[in-house]
Amino acid sequence: MPIYEFECEECGARFEELVAAGRAVACSQCGSERARRLYSTVSPPGRQPRGAAVRSDESRRREREAARQGRIAESRKRRAAGEKP
Ligand SMILES: [Zn+2]
């Protein structure tokens, strides 16, 4: 079953729900059944699939960079320790 994102027309709450096609969904906040299915399937509110891909690429790059910096700092520390008399 797909997970869809809904927006309640009563209170404006957004929530994700696992639903069979064509089933009505009640708002998780106020219980209203006037929840509207949003266009995109599961992703955090406001996120476009394309942007998400770009963002995850960027975060992967940042992780790699952080790991590299960590290794550099580590070897610098080791060198400094080794140079002590
Ligand atoms: Zn609601």
Tell whether pTM > 0.85: no
The yes-or-no verdict on residue 48 having pLDDT over 60 is no
Confidence band of 31 (pLDDT split at 50, 70, 90): very high
Cβ-proximal residues to 28 (8 Å cutoff; 6+ apart), any chain: 13, 15, 17
pLDDT above 70: residue 52? no
Instruction: Compare 51 and 39 and report the one with higher pLDDT.
Output: 39
Cβ-contact 30, 63 below 8 angstroms: no
Distance 37 CA to ligand 1 centre (A): 13
Ligand 1 center from residue 50 Cα (angstroms): 29
* Model confidence at 47: pLDDT above 60: no
pLDDT of amino acid 19: 82
Determine contact, residues 30/13, Cβ cutoff 8 Å: yes
d(CA 31, CA 13): 11
31: left (phi over 0), alpha (psi -120 to 50) or beta: left
C-alpha count within 13 angstroms, C-beta hemisphere, residue 42? 7
46: helix, strand or coil: coil
| Rounded distance from Cα 51 to ligand 1 centre (Å) | 28
Expressed in angstroms and rounded, the spacing between residue 11 Cα and the centre of ligand 1 is 4
CA of 29 to the centre of ligand 1 (A): 5
pLDDT exceeds cutoff 90 at 22: no
